[in-house]
Structure 1
Amino acid sequence: MDGIETLEKDHARIRSLFSNIENTDDPQELEDNFEKLGNILTIHAEAEEQVLYPEASNCEGTQELIDKGHQEHDKGDQMVLEIKSISPNESSKFKEKVRGLQEFMLNHLDEEENSLFPKVRQCMSDKKLEELGTEIKQTKAEVAHEVVD
């Protein structure tokens, strides 16, 4: 699986977790799904920032998208921290905040998929994209170990 496919797989998982949160009012399910979502967002963002963005900066027309990606990851982190301070027992308030995060993050994912990823795919050889996939998986494993511990 190449680097872009690996990241797109994460995007699908993120969308699925948002859907799981939207479709339940059970406080424990909300908490469990949000914890998974927060973890995958952190791991995914770190992999992009450590592996994809430095490599993608060599591709024409990507720097503005990369800069914006960094800013959006920071804002997403802040939003996640804010939601963590709300009890899932207050499901309407909790879900309202998650919907704000969802709208923000889905816009970010769509922008990557429609703007950044095609530029990277066009710029890099299949071999380079495969190497990127290996690096992204390694980075995600390292970050996941830190996040979960």
Structure 2
Amino acid sequence: MQSKVTQAMTVIKIILLGLFLSLGKTYAQDQATPTKRTLYFVVDTGSIRKDGRPYEIVSGEKLVTYKLLCPCLYRGQYPMFFRKEDEHAQRNYREREIRSLPVMTFKSLVELVKKEGNGMNQYSVIILEKVGKKYNAYRTQFSGVSLEE
């Protein structure tokens, strides 16, 4: 009888040891994964005329592209951020909430793009589109090459 108890205790110890080792491995992996710094940029299509904007918004069949009108990448390439056309806003912000976010100016975003180039993928860029009195937040991906070229 004691041998069955001993065997059961050994099995429990092995299971607990395996569980402990797998949790430790998962924790170590989580610690090794760098977090992306989140940047916010406001796209206000309501108060800025289309011909006066320092960016261009192109809606295609599958993508919405935000092209910064600054050929500031290698060989005059335009920095672009894109998202899926059918993607819903992650969140809606009120104007007073926007004031508390670290929103980048166009100039500071361009300077960062010039500095980082394709390293911009280390950042999570949230485009805030003004719709009426609210702002829709969309997570975008960076592309250093214009789709038109």
TM class by shorter-chain length? under 0.3
Tell which structure's C-alpha radius of gyration is larger: 2
Q: Normalization by structure 2: what TM-score?
A: 0.26
Q: Normalization by structure 1: what TM-score?
A: 0.26
Asked which structure has the greater RCO (Cα within 8 Å, sep 6+), the reply is: 1
More helix by share: 1
